[in-house]
Structure 1
Amino acid sequence: MATNPPTGDNARKGAVRQRSQTLNPKNNKWIKRNTNTGQFMDQKADNKPFKGVRKEK
């Protein structure tokens, strides 16, 4: 039988909303963007994409 997850563990369930990510071809790093305003928010230090954030085409 399934049980409810523990409360207070600060774990995200599902995707991050109102965010998208795209790959910057100049430096080969992923950039996170706010989908409402189109403003760039954050860039990854490594070359791996953000977890739980949808990718733009």
Structure 2
Amino acid sequence: MRHLIVVTDALGKVVSYKASSENLFENMENLRTVPVGKYFDEDCNRCQPTRLKSIY
């Protein structure tokens, strides 16, 4: 499970953050546009889930 916690001051400047991956913090502006519960790729852009691969 991935997580990103960002603490900002009254002016909107980042005071502190904690992330499971630095990629999440680096692409935070892209991540803000993705609705909660939706899929996103490694650049934090919204994408569709991949299809399940058949075993047979």
Band the TM-score falls in, shorter-chain normalisation: under 0.3
Structure in which a larger fraction of residues adopt strand: 1
Structure in which a larger fraction of residues adopt helix: 2
What TM-score results when the alignment is normalised by the length of structure 2?
A: 0.22
